[in-house]
Amino acid sequence: MAYQEDNFVGYTAFYQQEDELFLSKLYIDPSHHRQGIGKTLFARVTAHAKAQNLPTIRLYVNKYNSNSIEAYKKMGFTVEKALITDVGNNFIMDDYTMTYNTTK
């Protein structure tokens, strides 16, 4: 979790999935974007992956979420592939799988 002056401004959630770390959440309050908070949280995620000897961090991001895609690219993620998932009730997830190499 991230705080600024006792105010909650963001959080991250991740878990090990086989031999890689899956980053399921990285959220920053929009009023606190572009302040380095995401980069700081991601450094913690990366440190955890390295401590567990996990060479890859993977995430899914909506193909149309261009701001997040660009932020992830700035952190060093690359787009691996497109992924379309039917999650039921006529709802389709239209994502990119992005990966980050922790051994760089």
Q: pLDDT tens across 2-42, in order?
A: 777 888 889 999 999 999 999 999 999 998 888 888 899 99
Question: Token pair for residue 45?
Answer: 């995620």
What's 90's domain CATH number?
A: 3.40.630.30
Q: pLDDT tens across 47-58, in order?
A: 999 999 999 999
First to last CA, the chain: 25
CB–CB of 76/100 below 8 Å? yes
* Domain of residue 73, residue span: 2-101
The whole-angstrom separation of Cα 93 and Cα 100 is 21
The whole-angstrom separation of Cα 59 and Cα 96 is 8
pLDDT of residue 6: 81
The percent of residues in the chain predicted with pLDDT above 90, rounded, is 74
Domain count, the chain: 1
Which residue would you say has higher pLDDT here, 39 or 1?
Answer: 39
User: How is the beta sheet containing 91-101 ordered, strand by strand?
Assistant: 2-4, 7-17, 20-28, 56-62, 91-101, 78-88
Model confidence, pTM:
0.88
